Amino acid sequence: MSVGLAGHAARGALSTGVGLVARMLLQLASVVVLSRLLSPRDYGIVAMVVAIIGIGDTLRDFGLSSAAIQSRDLSKGQRSNLFWTNSAIGLALGLLALAGSGLVARFYDEPALTAVTQALAVTFLLNGMMTQYRAGLVRDMRFRVVARVDVVAPALALVAAVGLALAGAGYWALVAQQIVQAVVALVAVVWAGRWLPGRYDRGEPMRDLYRFGGHLLGSQLIGYLANNVDSLTIGHRFGAHALGVYNRAFQLLMNPLNQVRAPSTTVALPVLSRAAGTPQFDEIVRTGQLVLAYPVTIALAVVAGTAEPLVGVLLGPAWQEVPPVLRLLAVAGIFQTLSYVGYWVYLARGLTRELLHYSLASAAIRITCVLVGSVWGVVGVAAGYAVAPMLAWPLSLWWLGRSAGLPVRVLYLGAARVLLVGSVTGAAATVASSAAASLGPWGELVAGALAALVACAATLVLPVVRRDLHDLRRAARAALRRGQS
């Protein structure tokens, strides 16, 4: 990789990492504070709507943000055309949500969902207008600006939500949180972008961009359905309270996890797109897998081992149905993260058609597992959600090697080492937490965390793990050097 790309990657990783820590703290604050002010039903009401209309956010993007980022040559006219395309799609979807709000309420047999759906419809237009502004910042590798926006917008939204929750607004506090975040983010990226779109120009070559976006959209839609079949099933079969319980476990774990994975793509996609076809490409992918998988797997292993005291400390006694669900979702998150590196490769090399084919297979596995698991209630759904990525992960790497010609053996071996360290860490956390039950939730949590730390350190007796640690240190030093330059 050239010095220029290395510098951008390292500085991007540093800025993104700082923003990531801030966002995760905000997410944790949101979970802890709002869970004590709102009920499971409040969360369930909003989760019901989001599970259905959330697909519109995928349609609104139409894969065009990634199309703009990975394009080697993007003219001003093409960028303007993409802006108007995303904005028009956002407007159309907002109007569709308004018209279909009654259908959403009837699907769940919950009248309150009509007004909630109508209120959230405005976010489609706001996010549609924001799409290409944000893509432009990422394309220009202005990662520091992106990180700031991703912190300021949810911070102000959380303040608004807490204020409304304290005033007794109930689930409307969660609705306002989403709307405020969309408004603030749009204003921020427009201000930072310093760019105004021109008129739509039919003379600009758009076919390749739309084709890239269309194939990616297909994959994203399939992924969305697979990712939300759990919420749809629980909401439809078991009601708002059950979905609220599941949603708290999901938000407590998957939101921070997405806060890690999405920014990693923000950095990886432009860097890998420019490194495509060079000898450095495979090494970047290998190192990227380790940088992402090790900390995420170790953290989720600790969560799985200390699920009960963790919920007691963060959410309080009203949420004691959450721990078994949280534990299973942690397992799911580990295997999802191991296969996430493939997503970078497909996008960087423009292999959206191949990504679509894999997404179909992966979605079929997840939908089947979740529907079968739902026979055993909410915990059964979580178990199905956990089993699915275990089955899909080896398939994802095999498909990546077949489609992209990437030597995946090194990725299998790297993942095996990560799973070994994670298993040892999680087992230690589980045993120590259970042994400290008499100390209360805080004592259990501290005991589990300390045991996990010791167990993780003990795995360094293995030479292969020490080599991985050396690679992680080298990546961190590079990020710090470039960040200070």
pLDDT digits (tens, 9 = 90+) for 149-187: 888 899 999 999 999 999 999 999 999 999 999 999 999
Task: For the beta carbon of residue 72, count every other beta carbon within 10 angstroms.
Answer: 7
- The Cα–Cα gap between 88 and 91 comes to 5
pLDDT over 90 (residue 68):
no
What's the Rg (C-alpha) of the chain?
Answer: 22
Ranges of each domain in the chain:
38-205, 222-485
Per-residue confidence (pLDDT) for residue 481, from 0 to 100: 55
Confidence band, pLDDT 50/70/90 cuts, at residue 3:
very low
Per-residue confidence (pLDDT) for residue 9, from 0 to 100: 47
- The residue written with tokens 């220029």 in the block is 4
pLDDT digits (tens, 9 = 90+) for 212-245: 777 677 766 777 777 778 888 898 888 888 888 8
- The residue written with tokens 């501290």 in the block is 446
Q: What is the percent of the chain with per-residue pLDDT over 70, rounded to a whole number?
A: 87
Rounded to 5 degrees, what are φ and ψ at 392?
Answer: -85, -25
pLDDT digits (tens, 9 = 90+) for 280-328: 787 778 888 888 889 899 999 999 999 999 998 888 777 888 999 999 9
DSSP result, 160-200: HHHHHHHTT-TTHHHHHHHHHHHHHHHHHHHHHHT------
CB 370 within 8 A of CB 381: yes
For residue 47 the two structure tokens come to 């989760």
pLDDT digits (tens, 9 = 90+) for 422-448: 999 999 999 999 999 899 899 999 999
Confidence band, pLDDT 50/70/90 cuts, at residue 262:
low
Contacts of 416 (CB under 8 A, 6+ apart): none
- The Cα–Cα gap between 196 and 185 comes to 16
CB 268 within 8 A of CB 348: yes
Per-residue confidence (pLDDT) for residue 259, from 0 to 100: 67
CB 270 within 8 A of CB 139: yes
Task: For the beta carbon of residue 405, count every other beta carbon within 10 angstroms.
Answer: 10
Confidence band, pLDDT 50/70/90 cuts, at residue 264:
low
Per-residue confidence (pLDDT) for residue 20, from 0 to 100: 65
- The Cα–Cα gap between 263 and 260 comes to 6
Name the amino acid, one letter, at 153: A
pLDDT over 80 (residue 12):
no
Q: Which residue has the higher pLDDT, 332 or 320?
A: 332
- The Cα–Cα gap between 269 and 135 comes to 11
pLDDT over 90 (residue 417):
yes
pLDDT over 80 (residue 64):
no
pLDDT over 80 (residue 42):
yes
pTM: predicted TM-score of the whole model, two decimal places: 0.69
- The Cα–Cα gap between 50 and 251 comes to 13
Per-residue confidence (pLDDT) for residue 6, from 0 to 100: 46
Closest CA to 154 of 125, 120, 185: 185
pLDDT over 50 (residue 41):
yes
Per-residue confidence (pLDDT) for residue 480, from 0 to 100: 53
pLDDT digits (tens, 9 = 90+) for 336-380: 888 888 878 887 777 777 877 888 888 889 899 999 999 999 999
Q: What is the percent of the chain with per-residue pLDDT over 90, rounded to a whole number?
A: 31
Per-residue confidence (pLDDT) for residue 5, from 0 to 100: 45
Task: For the beta carbon of residue 103, count every other beta carbon within 10 angstroms.
Answer: 12
For residue 92 the two structure tokens come to 């159309």
User: Is the alpha carbon torsion for 375, 381, 386, 389 positive or negative?
Assistant: positive
- The Cα–Cα gap between 69 and 74 comes to 9
pLDDT digits (tens, 9 = 90+) for 381-407: 999 999 999 998 888 888 888 877 778
Question: Whole-number mean pLDDT of the chain?
Answer: 83
Average pLDDT, stretch 24-40?
Answer: 83
Longest Cα–Cα distance of the chain, Å, equals 72
Rounded to 5 degrees, what are φ and ψ at 216?
Answer: -65, -40
Task: For the beta carbon of residue 111, count every other beta carbon within 10 angstroms.
Answer: 10
- The Cα–Cα gap between 66 and 348 comes to 9
Per-residue confidence (pLDDT) for residue 263, from 0 to 100: 60
- The Cα–Cα gap between 174 and 39 comes to 11
pLDDT over 80 (residue 70):
no
Per-residue confidence (pLDDT) for residue 19, from 0 to 100: 58
Closest CA to 301 of 180, 159, 408, 459: 459
Q: Which residue has the higher pLDDT, 140 or 177?
A: 177
Q: How far is CA 454 from CA 424, 426, 428, 432, 462, in A?
A: 10, 11, 8, 11, 15
Per-residue confidence (pLDDT) for residue 76, from 0 to 100: 84
CB 470 within 8 A of CB 461: no
Confidence band, pLDDT 50/70/90 cuts, at residue 4:
very low
Rounded to 5 degrees, what are φ and ψ at 388?
Answer: -55, -50
CB 43 within 8 A of CB 248: yes
Per-residue confidence (pLDDT) for residue 372, from 0 to 100: 94
Chain centroid to Cα 229, Å, comes to 16
Torsional class of 350: left (φ above 0), alpha (ψ -120 to 50), beta (otherwise):
left
pLDDT over 80 (residue 411):
yes
Per-residue confidence (pLDDT) for residue 7, from 0 to 100: 47
Per-residue confidence (pLDDT) for residue 8, from 0 to 100: 46
Confidence band, pLDDT 50/70/90 cuts, at residue 18:
low
Per-residue confidence (pLDDT) for residue 26, from 0 to 100: 79
Per-residue confidence (pLDDT) for residue 304, from 0 to 100: 94
- The Cα–Cα gap between 5 and 2 comes to 5
Torsional class of 278: left (φ above 0), alpha (ψ -120 to 50), beta (otherwise):
beta
Per-residue confidence (pLDDT) for residue 17, from 0 to 100: 57
HSE value, Cβ hemisphere, 13 Å, CA-based, for 207: 2
Contacts of 98 (CB under 8 A, 6+ apart): 117, 118, 121
